[in-house]
Amino acid sequence: MPIIKVDMFAGRSIDQKRELARRLTETYLDVVGGPAGGVTILFNEVARDQWAVAGELVSDRQQPKEKE
């Protein structure tokens, strides 16, 4: 029974997580095979102030500006 763990920033919608779970399961089954009921996916949502990259909290990093 495979377990796929996804660590990501908090804030994704339930629909995004549903779609990601569906696609991860489909991809796993396409590559490895087996029953869909055997694939478990765990989402671990982490706040940006609980995640660091290169010694710096992500919450402290300047976010890229959105395109207008």
From 65, 62, 38, select the one nearest 48 (Cα to Cα): 62
Active site residue 2: yes
Q: Given the residues 2, 16, 18, 26, select the one marked as catalytic.
A: 2
The two three-digit tokens of residue 17, written as one number: 């997580």
Contacts of 54 (CB under 8 A, 6+ apart): none
The residues annotated as belonging to the active site are 2
